[in-house]
Every structure is written in structure tokens, then in C-alpha cells.
Amino acid sequence: MAIDKPVILYYVSGHGFGHSTRAIEVGRHLAPFARTIFCTSAPQWLYDCYYGPGLEFRPVELDCGVIQHDSLLLDEKKTLETYTALLSRASETIQAEVDFSWGATEVKPPYLADAIVELTETGSSLKANNLRIIETILVSSTRFIANKKAWKDKWKRQKMENIVLLLKGALAAEEKVGLKMNVPDKSMKRVMTLLSAMHSPTISQLSDKGWYALEVVIDERIVRDIIPRLKSVGASGIIEYPLNKVIP
């Protein structure tokens, strides 16, 4: 499975322009192989002028440099005070770097990311990649959204309601399966006590005297337990089949 380019967060001192001009040149050479995001307190116009299209820039204060009285004299006290203030904000400055993933997110830890935020239904893909869920940010569900003006149109509204009906039927069918079987008259009562259908099962008399065809819809979670029991009380020719839609 192919994954997108690796991301390089390039932290550059904003003290003077020399650091930035050298970093820009490195970034140009990295561009074909990686996404380079420049993180610096240097002005963005400098990067806009020299880097060109595709620039990714994040303003962030990384160092205070050396504070000077003038071109020759250093202000050691002011430099120390500024540096101490910068360190006090370190956890806010570099707490976490978040970047969008264009796919195959679960394969990126631990080499391309320390942690990921991923949309998952069963979590099986996360487990397959030796990951575990440490926090749930939100729980979402599917919504059918209609334009208000279109909803007022009788013809369009009927179409929307039909779509909703079919979608609900498909969702309901995910948890159900159908069962067909042949049942002798002597076993019918015992078979009926085992089945919990949505309504009464469909029963048709077969050409063989004393035999009936029975069809029922049941929960998929119980089918593996109930089929052996149906067989044991006399049912035969048992067929399980999937359902595409169940419309109550």
C-alpha cells in the first residue's frame, strides 16, 4: 500500500535571515521527496520571495537570539530575561505538531507519527497494526441532509423519502439473515418454538404429504446456535442466505 510523502517539520531560528536562506535552499532540494513545513519566527515574506510555489509555513517563536545594545555591545541581562520567558512558554510552543493524512493513516506510527486521529467503525485495522485506542474524541452517525427548498417540492420530497426508506432497509438487513428449511408435520411445533421471527414465518405445503417449507428472517448473531437445534428437532434442507434490505 502506497503512502504519501513523509513530512519534515523544519524548525529554523528567526534570529537573522541567514538561517532562513540556508533552510530554504535545503527545502528546495527536499521538495521532490518530502513535504517540508518551515516553522520559524522569521517573516513569511522572506520565504515567499525565495522558496516559490508549494511553500508551507508556520509562524512560531523558537529562540530569542542575542539582544544587543548596538552593533557592537550585547545586552546580557535582557537576553537572559527574554530567553527565560521563552523557555516558560516551551510547552505551548511545541506541544504537538498536527498534520493531515491523505490515507493509510494506521501504518504511519511509530516512524512517521507518534499518534494518529482516525475514523474507525470496528477498530480491526488499528488492531492489525498493533495500535490501541487511548481516547474517543467523538461518536458520529450517518445523517441524510436535504436542501430546504428541494424538500418543499412534492416530487423531490417523495424521492428523498424513498431513498431514506431503502437506506434504512439496508441498515436493518446488516443484522439479519434468512433461513429456509423443510419441516415434517410431526416436528413443526418444536421448530416453531425455536424461531423468533419478525412476524410469523412463511409456511408452504410441499408436494410430499406431511411436509412443509418454512422461511423466516432472524438475527444473524443467533443463527449459528439455532441451526444445529433446528436440525436436531427434525428440520432438514436448511439454507441460510444474506439479505440486501429489510423493509418493515
pLDDT digits (tens, 9 = 90+) for 134-144: 878 788 888 88
Burial 154-183 (b: 16+ CB within 10 A, else e): eeeeeebeeeeeeeeeeebbeebbbbebbb
Give the pLDDT score at 97: 66
The mean per-residue pLDDT over the stretch 240-245 comes to 91
Give the pLDDT score at 41: 84
- In sequence order, the 6+-apart residues with CB closer than 8 A to the CB of 56 are 35, 36, 37, 38
220 contacts 175 by C-beta, under 8 angstroms: yes
Give the pLDDT score at 197: 53
Question: Helices (DSSP H) in 105-238: which residue ranges?
Answer: 124-128, 148-152, 154-173, 188-194, 220-232
Q: Round the CA-based radius of gyration of the chain to a whole number and report it.
A: 33
Give the pLDDT score at 162: 94
The mean per-residue pLDDT over the stretch 86-115 comes to 73
Give the pLDDT score at 1: 39
Instruction: State the Cα–Cα distance between residues 233 and 236, nearest whole angstrom.
Output: 9
Instruction: State the Cα–Cα distance between residues 173 and 108, nearest whole angstrom.
Output: 35
